[in-house]
Protein backbone atom coordinates (compact mmCIF):
# COMPACT_ATOMS: atom_id res chain seq x y z
CA UNK A 1 0.00 0.00 0.00
CA UNK A 2 1.12 3.52 -0.68
CA UNK A 3 0.84 5.09 2.80
CA UNK A 4 2.73 8.18 1.66
CA UNK A 5 -0.14 8.92 -0.74
CA UNK A 6 -2.63 8.68 2.15
CA UNK A 7 -0.39 10.88 4.35
CA UNK A 8 -0.15 13.52 1.63
CA UNK A 9 -3.96 13.45 1.35
CA UNK A 10 -4.45 13.81 5.14
CA UNK A 11 -1.99 16.71 5.38
CA UNK A 12 -3.52 18.39 2.30
CA UNK A 13 -0.18 18.45 0.50
CA UNK A 14 -1.32 17.07 -2.88
CA UNK A 15 -1.45 18.84 -6.18
CA UNK A 16 -4.42 18.19 -8.46
CA UNK A 17 -2.74 15.30 -10.37
CA UNK A 18 -1.93 13.50 -7.09
CA UNK A 19 -5.53 13.96 -5.91
CA UNK A 20 -6.77 12.32 -9.13
CA UNK A 21 -4.44 9.34 -8.52
CA UNK A 22 -5.66 9.13 -4.89
CA UNK A 23 -9.34 9.05 -5.89
CA UNK A 24 -8.73 6.42 -8.61
CA UNK A 25 -6.78 4.25 -6.13
CA UNK A 26 -9.55 4.51 -3.51
CA UNK A 27 -12.09 3.53 -6.18
CA UNK A 28 -10.04 0.60 -7.50
CA UNK A 29 -8.67 -0.94 -4.26
CA UNK A 30 -10.87 -1.92 -1.30
CA UNK A 31 -7.85 -2.58 1.02
CA UNK A 32 -6.41 0.90 0.12
CA UNK A 33 -9.79 2.48 0.89
CA UNK A 34 -9.99 0.67 4.27
CA UNK A 35 -6.45 1.74 5.23
CA UNK A 36 -7.13 5.37 4.17
CA UNK A 37 -10.31 5.47 6.28
CA UNK A 38 -8.48 3.91 9.29
CA UNK A 39 -5.69 6.49 9.07
CA UNK A 40 -8.25 9.32 8.75
CA UNK A 41 -10.05 8.08 11.91
CA UNK A 42 -6.72 7.94 13.73
CA UNK A 43 -5.94 11.51 12.59
CA UNK A 44 -9.32 12.67 13.95
CA UNK A 45 -8.41 11.27 17.37
CA UNK A 46 -4.99 12.89 17.27
CA UNK A 47 -6.49 16.28 16.50
CA UNK A 48 -8.95 16.02 19.44
CA UNK A 49 -6.22 15.26 22.02
CA UNK A 50 -4.09 18.21 23.13
CA UNK A 51 -0.64 18.27 21.64
CA UNK A 52 2.08 17.24 24.09
CA UNK A 53 4.15 20.14 25.39
CA UNK A 54 7.69 20.32 24.11
CA UNK A 55 10.35 19.25 26.59
CA UNK A 56 11.88 22.73 26.57
CA UNK A 57 8.54 24.27 27.67
CA UNK A 58 8.13 21.75 30.50
CA UNK A 59 11.65 22.26 31.75
CA UNK A 60 10.81 25.70 33.24
CA UNK A 61 7.42 24.95 34.75
CA UNK A 62 8.94 24.57 38.22
CA UNK A 63 10.37 28.08 37.94
CA UNK A 64 6.83 29.56 37.78
CA UNK A 65 5.09 30.50 41.04
CA UNK A 66 2.46 28.12 42.33
CA UNK A 67 0.07 31.05 42.86
CA UNK A 68 -0.65 33.61 40.17
CA UNK A 69 -2.99 36.59 40.51
CA UNK A 70 -3.94 36.27 36.86
CA UNK A 71 -4.96 32.62 37.38
CA UNK A 72 -6.82 33.56 40.57
CA UNK A 73 -8.74 36.52 39.10
CA UNK A 74 -9.07 35.13 35.59
CA UNK A 75 -10.27 37.22 32.70
CA UNK A 76 -12.54 39.49 34.76
CA UNK A 77 -9.59 41.20 36.46
CA UNK A 78 -8.61 43.68 33.69
CA UNK A 79 -12.16 45.08 33.27
CA UNK A 80 -12.61 45.29 37.06
CA UNK A 81 -9.29 47.11 37.43
CA UNK A 82 -10.37 49.52 34.70
CA UNK A 83 -13.67 50.16 36.46
CA UNK A 84 -11.98 50.80 39.83
CA UNK A 85 -9.51 53.17 38.16
CA UNK A 86 -12.37 55.06 36.48
CA UNK A 87 -14.21 55.40 39.81
CA UNK A 88 -11.07 56.78 41.49
CA UNK A 89 -10.66 59.33 38.69
CA UNK A 90 -14.33 60.36 38.98
CA UNK A 91 -13.88 60.80 42.74
CA UNK A 92 -10.82 62.97 42.20
CA UNK A 93 -12.79 64.99 39.64
CA UNK A 94 -15.54 65.63 42.18
CA UNK A 95 -12.94 66.90 44.65
CA UNK A 96 -11.88 69.63 42.20
CA UNK A 97 -15.37 70.62 41.04
CA UNK A 98 -16.49 74.11 42.01
CA UNK A 99 -18.41 74.03 45.24
CA UNK A 100 -22.08 74.97 45.22
CA UNK A 101 -22.85 77.68 47.73
CA UNK A 102 -24.78 76.26 50.66
CA UNK A 103 -28.49 76.89 50.62
CA UNK A 104 -29.25 79.99 52.63
CA UNK A 105 -31.21 79.32 55.75
CA UNK A 106 -34.46 81.19 56.37
CA UNK A 107 -34.13 84.55 58.10
CA UNK A 108 -36.44 86.01 60.73
CA UNK A 109 -38.52 88.88 59.42
CA UNK A 110 -40.92 91.00 61.45
CA UNK A 111 -44.10 92.25 59.83
CA UNK A 112 -45.86 95.21 61.51
CA UNK A 113 -49.19 96.76 60.55
CA UNK A 114 -50.97 99.75 62.14
CA UNK A 115 -54.68 99.05 62.06
CA UNK A 116 -56.33 100.23 65.30
CA UNK A 117 -59.90 99.70 64.02
CA UNK A 118 -59.31 96.01 62.97
CA UNK A 119 -60.52 93.10 65.06
CA UNK A 120 -58.20 90.67 63.31
CA UNK A 121 -55.24 90.77 60.90
CA UNK A 122 -53.57 87.97 58.97
CA UNK A 123 -50.73 87.77 56.47
CA UNK A 124 -50.59 85.71 53.24
CA UNK A 125 -47.68 85.39 50.84
CA UNK A 126 -45.25 83.22 48.98
CA UNK A 127 -43.54 82.35 52.28
CA UNK A 128 -46.85 80.98 53.70
CA UNK A 129 -47.89 79.23 50.47
CA UNK A 130 -50.67 81.84 50.41
CA UNK A 131 -52.24 80.33 53.53
CA UNK A 132 -53.41 83.01 56.04
CA UNK A 133 -51.31 83.24 59.22
CA UNK A 134 -52.83 85.22 62.14
CA UNK A 135 -50.96 88.30 63.40
CA UNK A 136 -50.82 89.31 67.08
CA UNK A 137 -52.35 92.53 68.43
CA UNK A 138 -49.84 94.55 70.47
CA UNK A 139 -51.94 95.68 73.46
CA UNK A 140 -54.11 98.77 72.82
CA UNK A 141 -51.50 100.42 70.56
CA UNK A 142 -53.37 99.60 67.36
CA UNK A 143 -50.36 97.68 65.96
CA UNK A 144 -50.42 94.10 64.74
CA UNK A 145 -47.16 92.15 64.56
CA UNK A 146 -45.82 88.78 63.45
CA UNK A 147 -42.25 87.44 63.18
CA UNK A 148 -41.75 84.60 60.69
CA UNK A 149 -38.80 82.60 59.41
CA UNK A 150 -38.83 83.57 55.73
CA UNK A 151 -36.68 81.82 53.08
CA UNK A 152 -34.13 84.09 51.48
CA UNK A 153 -35.10 85.62 48.17
CA UNK A 154 -37.84 87.79 46.70
CA UNK A 155 -41.34 87.41 48.16
CA UNK A 156 -44.84 88.73 47.52
CA UNK A 157 -47.41 89.19 50.28
CA UNK A 158 -50.40 91.16 51.51
CA UNK A 159 -52.50 91.50 54.66
CA UNK A 160 -56.03 90.21 55.20
CA UNK A 161 -58.17 92.25 57.58
CA UNK A 162 -61.67 91.81 58.97
CA UNK A 163 -63.73 89.77 56.49
CA UNK A 164 -60.92 89.03 54.07
CA UNK A 165 -60.24 92.53 52.69
CA UNK A 166 -56.72 92.53 51.23
CA UNK A 167 -54.36 95.44 51.67
CA UNK A 168 -50.71 95.94 50.77
CA UNK A 169 -48.06 96.78 53.33
CA UNK A 170 -48.13 100.58 53.57
CA UNK A 171 -44.46 100.63 54.65
CA UNK A 172 -43.27 98.86 51.47
CA UNK A 173 -43.18 100.83 48.21
CA UNK A 174 -42.49 97.90 45.85
CA UNK A 175 -45.75 96.48 44.52
CA UNK A 176 -46.82 93.96 41.95
CA UNK A 177 -50.24 93.31 40.52
CA UNK A 178 -51.54 89.77 41.03
CA UNK A 179 -53.68 87.68 38.68
CA UNK A 180 -56.91 88.78 40.40
CA UNK A 181 -56.59 92.53 39.89
CA UNK A 182 -55.15 93.23 43.35
CA UNK A 183 -51.69 94.29 44.46
CA UNK A 184 -49.03 92.54 46.54
CA UNK A 185 -46.11 94.05 48.39
CA UNK A 186 -42.69 92.78 47.26
CA UNK A 187 -39.66 92.35 49.55
CA UNK A 188 -36.26 90.69 49.31
CA UNK A 189 -35.10 88.72 52.36
CA UNK A 190 -31.48 87.75 53.03
CA UNK A 191 -28.01 88.68 51.78
CA UNK A 192 -28.15 91.71 54.06
CA UNK A 193 -30.98 92.99 51.87
CA UNK A 194 -33.79 92.24 54.29
CA UNK A 195 -35.56 95.21 52.80
CA UNK A 196 -38.23 96.18 50.32
CA UNK A 197 -37.50 96.08 46.61
CA UNK A 198 -37.40 99.57 45.15
Tens of pLDDT, residue by residue, the chain (198 residues): 567 777 777 777 788 888 888 888 888 888 888 888 888 788 777 777 665 556 555 555 555 665 565 555 556 656 667 777 888 887 787 777 776 666 678 888 899 999 998 899 999 999 999 999 999 999 989 999 999 999 989 999 999 998 778 999 998 999 998 888 889 999 998 765 554 554
Based on the number of CB atoms within 10 Å of its own CB, is 120 exposed (0-12), middle (13-18) or buried (19 or more)?
A: middle
Predicted pLDDT of residue 198: 45
Q: What is the dihedral of CA 168, 171, 172, 176, to 10 degrees?
A: 20
Predicted model pTM? 0.47
- Beta partners for 175? 185
Amino acid sequence: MDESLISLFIDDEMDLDEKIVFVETVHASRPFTTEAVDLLEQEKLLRILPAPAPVSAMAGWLDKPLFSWSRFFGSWWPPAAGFVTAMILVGIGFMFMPKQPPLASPAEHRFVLFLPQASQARIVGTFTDWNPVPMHKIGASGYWSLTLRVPQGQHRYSYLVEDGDRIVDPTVTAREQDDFGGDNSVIVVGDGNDAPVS
